[in-house]
A = this chain, B = another copy of it.
Amino acid sequence: MGLDDRKLAVLRAIVEDYVATQEPVGSRALVERHQLGVSPATVRNDMAVLEEEGYIRQPHTSAGRVPTDRGYRLFVDRLSRVKPLSPAERRAIERFLVGAVDLDDVVHRTVRLLAQLTRQVAVVQYPSLARSSVRHLELVPISTTRLMLVMIADTGRVEQRLVELPTPVPAADVTDLRRLVNEKLVGSRLSDTPPLVQALVEESATHLRGAMTTLSTVLLETLVERTEERLALAGTANLTRGGLLDFQGSLRPILEALEEEVVLLKLIGEAEPSTTRVLIGDENEVDNLRAASVVSTGYGPGSTIVGGMGVLGPTRMDYPGTIATVRAVARYVGELLAQN
């Protein structure tokens, strides 16, 4: 298993060439395009070892070598050199995001930007409600037995729900309800609200009790239980780049997975510290995505994290470039959010 420096260099060269050409790379081509300082025969010996260790494999007996998921993993962990963004890319990021007018706008622009820069499928999670605080609650009467509840979070998210009241409630009572819920809940984290909502019911005057009970149910449902996470998606057309070579010829499973919000959230939503996470092929827990890789990271104002974003592409992807781009976009969006 002793992988000396040269073997690592060979692996790196293989990954880089394969990513660039999309064709199995042979020993001769390798020594020609990289300064390895040795002959093809030597490289072949190294390749044999790398193959034995499971870092590369041969599609057919007489073909060149192709990295395995394990090979990509080693490459990402130890071999890739950071690729600084080009000035053009930096400019693109700024130009694209400047002028965003509300949260929806920011998210949409971001996801399109990511898709465009990485030429991959991009996913952006809206700031998670669980990580937001209540900024304001509004009750708008629709009829005497119906209210529209609107919640505005500090992350800019706005959620609404229809509330069916058990009995008609006069306008004055609605005003009271509004005041009460705002007094009690504004400023608190959504994940901390359940006891507060509970108290709200107990403390309210008897004539409001009925309405408040219904309201609290809806509040809990909307804000906590049905953890209403939202996503934006862009760049699915990029899946068709590279002909049918990637994804073993069938986009079916990928497209199916992309329709499952739950799956996507799992992929990009696990906002760990501020690191960028890379999932390569098999490391992925979703069966449909065994042929894909995901690069994701958290984002948020300052050093906090309110949501995740990432891109999905073939395992054969430009990891250094993608990682750099995802990271840069996330940082920039974070700054943008911090301004609010």
List residues of chain A with CB under 8 Å of any chain B CB.
101-103, 135-136, 138, 140, 142, 148, 150, 152, 156, 158, 160-162, 234-237, 239-240, 250-252, 255-256, 258-259, 340
5 A-B interface contacts by CB (under 8 A): A102-B161, A136-B148, A138-B138, A236-B259, A240-B250
Tell me, rounded to whole Å, the shortest Cβ–Cβ distance linking A70 to chain B.
Answer: 29
* Residues in B whose Cβ lies below 8 Å from that of A239: 255
A252 and B237 form a contact (CB under 8 A): yes
Decide yes or no: A152 and B148 within 8 Å by CB, A135-B142, A234-B259, A255-B240 being known contacts: yes
Which single residue of chain B is at the shortest CB-CB distance from A148? B152
Tell me, rounded to whole Å, the shortest Cβ–Cβ distance linking A140 to chain B.
Answer: 4
| A283→B326 CA distance, assembly (Å) | 41
| A310→B179 CA distance, assembly (Å) | 43
Tell me, rounded to whole Å, the shortest Cβ–Cβ distance linking A248 to chain B.
Answer: 13
| A150→B135 CA distance, assembly (Å) | 13
A259 and B235 form a contact (CB under 8 A): yes
| Option from B138, B152, B162, B237 in Cβ contact (under 8 Å) with A255 | B237
| A152→B141 CA distance, assembly (Å) | 11
Which single residue of chain B is at the shortest CB-CB distance from A234? B259
| Option from B101, B135, B156, B255 in Cβ contact (under 8 Å) with A236 | B255
A140 and B148 form a contact (CB under 8 A): no
Which single residue of chain B is at the shortest CB-CB distance from A254? B237
| Option from B101, B138, B237 in Cβ contact (under 8 Å) with A162 | B101
Decide yes or no: A252 and B240 within 8 Å by CB, A102-B160, A102-B162, A162-B101 being known contacts: yes
* Residues in B whose Cβ lies below 8 Å from that of A148: 135-136, 152, 158
Which single residue of chain B is at the shortest CB-CB distance from A138? B138
| A240→B160 CA distance, assembly (Å) | 36
Tell me, rounded to whole Å, the shortest Cβ–Cβ distance linking A163 to chain B.
Answer: 10
| Option from B138, B142, B250, B256 in Cβ contact (under 8 Å) with A140 | B138
Which single residue of chain B is at the shortest CB-CB distance from A236? B255
| A152→B159 CA distance, assembly (Å) | 12
* Residues in B whose Cβ lies below 8 Å from that of A255: 236-237, 239-240
| A256→B241 CA distance, assembly (Å) | 12
| A140→B240 CA distance, assembly (Å) | 45
Which single residue of chain B is at the shortest CB-CB distance from A161? B102
| A156→B235 CA distance, assembly (Å) | 30
* Residues in B whose Cβ lies below 8 Å from that of A237: 252, 255-256, 258-259
* Residues in B whose Cβ lies below 8 Å from that of A251: 240, 251
* Residues in B whose Cβ lies below 8 Å from that of A240: 250-252, 255
| A142→B136 CA distance, assembly (Å) | 9
B161 and A140 form a contact (CB under 8 A): no
* Residues in B whose Cβ lies below 8 Å from that of A136: 140, 148
| A162→B340 CA distance, assembly (Å) | 10
* Residues in B whose Cβ lies below 8 Å from that of A152: 140, 148, 150, 160
Decide yes or no: A158 and B158 within 8 Å by CB, A237-B252, A240-B252, A259-B235 being known contacts: yes
B162 and A150 form a contact (CB under 8 A): no
